[in-house]
Amino acid sequence: MNRISVIAILLAASALTAAAAPRFALIRVRDIYSSLPSTEALQVQIKQEQEAIMKDQRAEELRKTLGELQALQAKLSDKNNPLDEETSRKLARSYEIKRQEAQTLQKEFESFRTEQEKLINTKMVSSMRASLDKIVAASNKVAKEKGFDCVFDSSGNTNTGVPFVLYSKDSADLTEDIKAALKDAAQPSAAAAKPATPPKR
């Protein structure tokens, strides 16, 4: 085999290697998720539901009972205004009854709050999963349209807390493209959800 043939083969192999090289792109999933209108709406809803827990009748009754308990304790321990034995005994009995009532209310409220927080967490996880699924679908679509073979999340960390992408040189960032794709996909849904204007008579 002459030298020219060898060079031709090497050049052909080099061209095939270059053509087969995969194309990589990066996205910042955290930034995309934060920019979604559904994320802001979820945060507002979660905050309202958490505030509603503390405004529940169980919480109101517990706060009232604890206030009454503190008032009784203050009277019993007020050295500037000592109580006679009979009054002190009655207040001590009232304090014990109120303390037991507060314990019962505390258990009821804690049970209620735990159950409500479980429901809130379930709703939050479900909503986050739905949003992340949309981000993944949009990422796949944009990456295929732009001819990329792999897309990595540059904002994510591994189980050890180390960034998933340790180094990237001049890698394309599709974050803004994904945001635009999600925005475009949301517009038809918003238009469909908007009630039609009744015809003028």
- Report if residue 1 sits inside a domain: no
pLDDT score at 69: 93
Query: Residue 114 sits in which domain range?
Result: 21-190
| 10 found inside a domain | no
CATH number for the domain that contains residue 70: 3.30.910.20
CA-closest candidate to residue 175, choices 2, 55, 37, 29: 29
In a domain, 80, yes or no: yes
- The pLDDT assigned to 162 comes to 81
The answer to whether position 13 is within a domain reads no
Position 37 in a domain: yes
pLDDT at res. 160: 80
Q: What is the pLDDT along the chain (201 residues), one digit of tens a residue?
A: 555 554 455 555 555 455 557 888 999 999 999 999 999 999 999 999 999 999 999 999 999 999 999 998 888 887 777 878 888 888 899 999 999 999 999 999 999 999 999 999 999 999 999 999 999 999 999 999 999 988 989 887 777 878 878 777 778 999 999 999 999 887 765 555 555 555 554
Residue 79 maps to a domain: yes
Question: In total, how many domains does the chain have?
Answer: 1
The pLDDT score that the predictor gives to residue 79 is: 77
Quote the CA–CA distance of 13 and 19 in Å, as a whole number: 10
Q: Which amino acid, residue 90?
A: K
Ordered strands of the 150-153 beta sheet: 150-153, 24-27, 172-173
d(CA 131, CA 140): 14
Per-residue confidence (pLDDT) for residue 94, from 0 to 100:
92
The answer as to whether 199 is a domain residue is no
Asked, for residue 196, whether it belongs to a domain, the answer is no
